[in-house]
């Protein structure tokens, strides 16, 4: 089975919905250890994405992802703009010209997307950032490839890995981003960036459950 | 929380509309992407200087656009970095052929967005240099954090670099002035109250009536310690000690002493702070040769002060005294 272009459009819509529903929640998480704007910024970015998407809805998956990335870069601001923008740009680059993605294609796209986030944010695993949710999701997909799981199953497992990664950030002391200024006081709080990353991957799992 | 606004979504745009109407002789405001630019930009043959950051710190940065200071400023949403397309367009708008300096405050978002903008500008053949200001001594363990935050020295860097550019200095010379400010300036702030981001509608942090946050950042980031409220002189001592010992500033040094309001602290209290800070400098044999006192880098309506010391040399004094004509800072012209 494959993820078709319309499935990716559905996923982007699902991301916009889930970020809108969780805007206040993300902002609360951010207020505890950051500057309290993450939910607002992501919601603003994906609202802009939803306005832009109809223009490219008949194009290839690469163009769709790249459009999402460019729109986030120019509307989100903060650190999340360049990071999520880079995420979708890199995923788009790996999907250029494609009208459908198999599991290996999705793995390559996600792997490249996460590598882009690491390059732009210079964060490592354990720094209490988006990377802590994204990186386990990539590892999980690799295992699922080896185990010959269906796309739907593989993506569900990768979302679960992201969730675990997100929860794992709770006791940690932040070493990157604005939360790092709290030092020890950042421990005991879930990272908002890891949380939005999980929400985006869970949206993929929910949308593509039957793929 | 009561706010003098119409709609949280429109705060930045409506503020920029007001700026455009108030200062047409000094600046133009470009919308979508948003930036404030000198009315006579680009000035041919002069190095362009741009800065930017989240809104909510007014008059920084848009209030410092004009003769002798910035050529353009990119305002983001409140407390949120602006985006690379704003910085790229502003860079193009001020490039008079002598290159453009980006003055960036050390925040993760600002750094990433300015990096992307500089990459794009260079790809289009423009000459761009960037200096990151990171003067907040409240941040300890900077190896294990995003590093020291950029605060009060940014205002001073914008003034000195702006003067250097007006005097016809090259991009590398103007960049050197900025690096000198980065190296010779140190700051620390404190909060008596929180601030409320319009869109969030609730105070960014809880601070009881009888407590204060020492070392607070300009977005309400926590500082070194939350302590029982003390008299002004003791608070100033708590801010000055880490500043003076950090560079360190020594007997015989000549400094600019900058006492800044976070937005909610009135001038009457700033002079109380200035008085004590000046006395502490005297005790160390440090000579205060210039000063700046007022609301220049604010954190919305937060009550609190920040203090910045900048070690001056002859050239920096000349640059400081050079005329400046911007909405937020003006003398000698």
Tokens for B57?
């710190």
Q: Which of B77, B107, B140 sits opposite A178 (nearest CB)?
A: B107
**Nearest chain A residue to B203, by CA:** A31
Q: Which of B82, B139, B144 sits opposite A175 (nearest CB)?
A: B144
Q: Which of A74, A120, A175 sits opposite B83 (nearest CB)?
A: A74
**Nearest chain B residue to A183, by CA:** B145
Query: Phi and psi for A19 in degrees, rounded to 5?
Result: -75, -30
pLDDT of residue B138: 93
Residues 6+ apart with CB under 8 A from A101: A2, A3, A8, A61, A95, A109
Which residue from B129, B132, B122, B131 is spatially nearest to B170, judged by alpha carbons? B129
ipTM of this complex: 0.77
Provide the CA A144 distance to its chain's centre, in angstroms. Answer: 19
Query: Of B23, B61, B219, B322, which residue is the catalytic one?
Result: B219
Chain B residues with CB inside 8 Å of A176's CB? 108, 145-146
B189-221 burial code (b ≥16 CB/10 A, e <16): bbbbbbbbbbbbeebbbebeeeebbbbbbbbbb
Chain B closest-CA separation from residue A130 CA (Å): 13
Chain B residues with CB inside 8 Å of A175's CB? 144-145
Dist CA B207 CA B198 (whole Å): 18
Q: Which of B85, B140, B217 sits opposite A74 (nearest CB)?
A: B85
* Whether this model's pTM surpasses 0.90: no
pLDDT tens by residue, A93-134: 999 999 999 999 999 999 999 999 999 999 999 999 999 999
Percent of all residues in chain A with a pLDDT value above 90, rounded to a whole number:
87
Greatest Cα pair distance, chain A, in angstroms, is 49
The 3-state DSSP class for residue A100 equals: strand
Chain B closest-CA separation from residue A15 CA (Å): 21
CB-facing half-sphere around the CA of B121: CA atoms within 13 A? 28
Residues B108, A176: C-beta atoms closer than 8 Å: yes
Break chain A into its structural domains and give their ranges. Answer: 3-207
Q: DSSP strand E in A130-181: where?
A: none
Query: Of B57, B61, B102, B322, which residue is the catalytic one?
Result: B57
Residues A35, B79: C-beta atoms closer than 8 Å: yes
**Nearest chain A residue to B215, by CA:** A181
Residue found by looking up tokens 């009536």 in the block: B209
Dist CA B158 CA B70 (whole Å): 6
pLDDT tens by residue, B146-176: 889 999 999 999 999 999 999 999 999 999 9
**Is A124 an 8 Å CB contact of chain B?**
no
Tokens for B37?
């630019």
Residues A74, B78: C-beta atoms closer than 8 Å: no
Q: Which domains does chain B have, with CATH numbers?
A: 20-184 (3.40.50.10440), 185-319 (3.30.1180.20)
Strand B330-331 with B324-325, pairing: antiparallel
Chain B closest-CA separation from residue A144 CA (Å): 34
pLDDT tens by residue, A127-153: 999 999 999 999 999 999 999 999 999
**Is A181 an 8 Å CB contact of chain B?**
yes
Query: Is B57 annotated in the active site?
Result: yes
User: CB of B51 within 8 A of CB of B320?
Assistant: no
**Is A49 an 8 Å CB contact of chain B?**
no
**Helices B108-123 and A103-121, axial angle in degrees (round to 10):** 100
Q: Which CATH architecture has domain A3-207?
A: Alpha Horseshoe (1.25)
Helix (H) or strand (E) holding B281: helix B267-283
Which of B57, B200, B223 would best serve as a mutation to test chain A binding (most A beta carbons within 10 A)?
B200
Which residue from A85, A102, A103, A90 is spatially nearest to A62, judged by alpha carbons? A90
Q: Which range in A20-34, A164-178, A183-197, B31-45 is most confidently predicted, on average pLDDT? A: B31-45
pLDDT of residue B50: 98
Residues 6+ apart with CB under 8 A from B331: B323, B324
Query: Is B219 annotated in the active site?
Result: yes
Q: DSSP strand E in chain B: where?
A: 27-30, 35-38, 48-55, 72-78, 100-105, 128-133, 185-191, 211-214, 225-228, 254-261, 287-294, 304-311, 324-325, 330-331
pLDDT of residue A31: 82
Residues 6+ apart with CB under 8 A from B100: B47, B48, B49, B50, B71, B91, B94, B121, B126, B127, B128, B129, B171
Residues A120, B76: C-beta atoms closer than 8 Å: no
**Is A36 an 8 Å CB contact of chain B?**
yes
Residues B108, A80: C-beta atoms closer than 8 Å: no
**Is A81 an 8 Å CB contact of chain B?**
yes
Radius of gyration of chain A (CA): 16
**Nearest chain B residue to A41, by CA:** B80
The chain B residues in contact with chain A (CB within 8 A) are 33, 54, 76-85, 107-109, 112-113, 115-116, 139-141, 144-146, 149, 197, 199-200, 202, 204-205, 217, 219-222
Percent of all residues in chain A with a pLDDT value above 70, rounded to a whole number:
100
Q: What stretches in chain B show pLDDT beneath 50? A: none
The 3-state DSSP class for residue A81 equals: helix
Dist CA B61 CA A56 (whole Å): 37
């Amino acid at each position: 089975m494959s993820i078709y272009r319309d499935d990716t459009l559905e996923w982007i819509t699902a991301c916009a919905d889930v970020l809108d529903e969780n805007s206040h929640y993300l902002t609360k998480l951010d207020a505890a250890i950051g500057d309290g704007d993450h939910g607002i910024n992501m919601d603003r970015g994906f609202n802009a994405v939803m306005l832009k998407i109809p223009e490219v809805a008949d194009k290839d998956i690469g163009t769709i992802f790249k459009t999402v990335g460019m729109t986030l870069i120019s509307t989100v601001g903060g650190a999340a703009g360049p990071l999520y923008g880079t995420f979708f740009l890199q995923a788009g680059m790996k999907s250029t010209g494609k009208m459908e993605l198999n599991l290996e294609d999705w793995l390559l796209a996600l792997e490249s997307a996460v590598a882009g986030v690491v390059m732009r944010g210079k964060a490592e695993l354990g720094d209490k950032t988006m990377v802590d949710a994204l990186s386990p999701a990539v590892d999980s997909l690799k295992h699922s490839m080896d185990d010959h799981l269906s796309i739907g199953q593989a993506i569900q497992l990768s979302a679960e890995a992201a969730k675990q990664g997100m929860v794992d950030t709770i006791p940690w002391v932040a070493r990157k981003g604005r939360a790092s200024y709290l030092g020890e006081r950042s421990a005991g709080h879930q990272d908002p960036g890891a949380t939005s990353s999980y929400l985006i991957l869970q949206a993929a799992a929910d949308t593509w459950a039957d793929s | 929380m009561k706010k003098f606004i119409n709609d949280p979504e429109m705060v930045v745009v409506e503020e920029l509309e007001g700026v455009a109407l108030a200062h047409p002789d000094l600046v133009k405001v470009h919308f979508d992407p948003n930036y404030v630019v000198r009315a006579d930009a680009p000035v041919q043959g002069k190095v362009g200087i741009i800065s930017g950051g989240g809104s909510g710190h007014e008059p920084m940065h848009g209030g410092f656009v004009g003769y002798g200071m910035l050529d353009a400023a990119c305002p983001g949403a409140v407390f949120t970095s602006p985006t690379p397309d704003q910085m790229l367009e502003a860079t193009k708008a001020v490039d008079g052929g002598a290159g453009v300096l980006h003055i960036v405050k050390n925040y993760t978002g600002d750094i990433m967005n300015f990096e992307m903008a500089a990459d794009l500008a260079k790809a289009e053949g423009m000459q761009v240099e960037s200096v990151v200001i990171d003067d907040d001594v409240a941040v300890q363990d900077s190896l294990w954090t995003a590093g020291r935050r950029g605060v009060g020295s940014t205002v001073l860097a914008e003034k000195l670099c702006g003067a250097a550019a007006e005097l016809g200095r090259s991009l590398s010379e103007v960049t050197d002035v900025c690096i000198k400010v980065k190296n010779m300036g140190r700051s620390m702030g404190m909060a008596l109250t929180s601030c409320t981001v319009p869109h969030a509608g609730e105070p960014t942090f809880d601070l009881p009536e009888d407590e204060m946050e020492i070392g607070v950042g300009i977005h309400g980031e926590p500082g070194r310690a939350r302590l029982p409220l003390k008299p002004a002189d003791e608070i100033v001592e708590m801010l000055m000690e880490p500043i003076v010992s950090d560079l360190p500033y020594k007997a015989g040094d000549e400094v600019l002493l900058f006492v800044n309001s976070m937005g909610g602290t009135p001038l009457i209290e700033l002079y109380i702070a200035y008085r004590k800070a000046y006395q502490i400098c005297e005790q160390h044999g440090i000579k205060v040769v210039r000063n700046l006192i007022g609301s220049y880098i604010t954190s919305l309506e937060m009550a609190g002060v920040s203090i910045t010391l900048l070690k001056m040399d002859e050239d920096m004094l000349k640059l400081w005294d050079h005329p400046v004509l911007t909405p937020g800072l003006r003398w000698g012209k």
